[in-house]
């Protein structure tokens, strides 16, 4: 696949650059470390769980009228699967408030990042979600790879004020994962994520 899609690319520092979105790498980080090798670079974008929840339901057709979790998109399917792996029966997932189901998924996913080895790779950048940080990252790649294009403006919207009643649960999940990562000697950008982008 790499040869078919990237074989004609010019090497940079002797290597062909192959971008790959690997959301599922969280579930078996050691495997991905082995497959991609020591030279692979990983960028992990982290986001406040409430903002991520809202973004997910927006991309999935909106918050269901009854406020209960629905399976309408890939991310919602992953959430359903992860909740069931965590021990919640399938029928129970369908009766969960959307925010509770999403927070269960968010915590599980971030635990997997810490527990399966992906967060310990040598070349890992954890980038808290936000306009300035993501634009700086894109500009660094442009300069590094000799791309002269100006970085397009990255649009972000504050989402946390939509569900103030959900914020305490989302903040609790954020702090739980921050404590877990810290206990495992990993850096977790709690202060930056607490802003709520």
For position 145, what pLDDT does the model report?
86
Tokens 């959900």 belong to residue: 166
For position 39, what pLDDT does the model report?
86
Q: Which of 121, 126, 137, 131 is nearest to 190 (CA)?
A: 126
Q: What is the pLDDT of residues 13-61, one digit of tens each?
A: 888 888 888 888 899 988 988 888 888 899 999 999 999 999 999 999 9
In angstroms, the CA 135 to CA 142 distance is 10
Average pLDDT over residues 163-184: 96
For position 100, what pLDDT does the model report?
98
CB burial of 137-147 (b: ≥16 within 10 Å; e: otherwise) equals beeeeeeeeee
Average pLDDT over residues 113-131: 90
- Whether 121 shows a pLDDT value over 90: the answer reads no
For residues 60 and 75, is the Cβ–Cβ distance under 8 A? yes
The number of C-alpha atoms within 13 Å of 31 and in the hemisphere containing its C-beta is 7
Of the listed ranges 60-64, 114-118, 165-169, the least confidently predicted one is 114-118
Q: pTM for the complete prediction?
A: 0.90
pLDDT higher at 176 or 29: 176
Radius of gyration of the chain, Cα coordinates, nearest whole angstrom: 18
Which residues pair with residue 124 across a beta bridge? 42
What's the mean pLDDT when you consider all of the chain? 91
| Model confidence band, residue 139 (pLDDT cutoffs 50, 70, 90) | very high
In angstroms, the CA 179 to CA 183 distance is 6
């Amino acid at each position: 696949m790499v040869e078919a899609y990237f074989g004609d690319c010019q090497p940079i520092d002797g290597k062909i650059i192959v971008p790959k979105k690997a959301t599922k790498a969280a579930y078996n980080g050691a495997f991905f470390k082995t497959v991609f090798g020591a030279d692979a670079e990983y960028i992990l974008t982290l986001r406040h769980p409430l903002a991520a929840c809202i973004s997910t339901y927006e991309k999935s057709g909106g918050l269901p009228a009854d406020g209960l979790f629905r399976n309408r998109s890939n991310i919602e399917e992953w959430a359903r699967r992860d909740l069931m792996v965590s021990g919640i029966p399938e029928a129970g997932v369908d009766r969960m408030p959307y925010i509770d189901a999403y927070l269960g998924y968010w915590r599980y996913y971030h635990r997997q990042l810490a527990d399966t080895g992906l967060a310990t790779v040598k070349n890992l950048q954890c980038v808290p979600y936000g306009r300035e940080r993501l634009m700086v990252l894109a500009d660094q790649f442009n300069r590094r790879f000799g791309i002269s294009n100006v970085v397009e403006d990255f649009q972000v919207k504050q989402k946390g004020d939509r569900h103030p009643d959900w914020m305490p649960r989302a903040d609790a999940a954020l702090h739980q994962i921050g404590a877990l990562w810290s206990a495992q000697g990993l850096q977790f950008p709690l202060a930056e994520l607490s802003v709520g982008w």
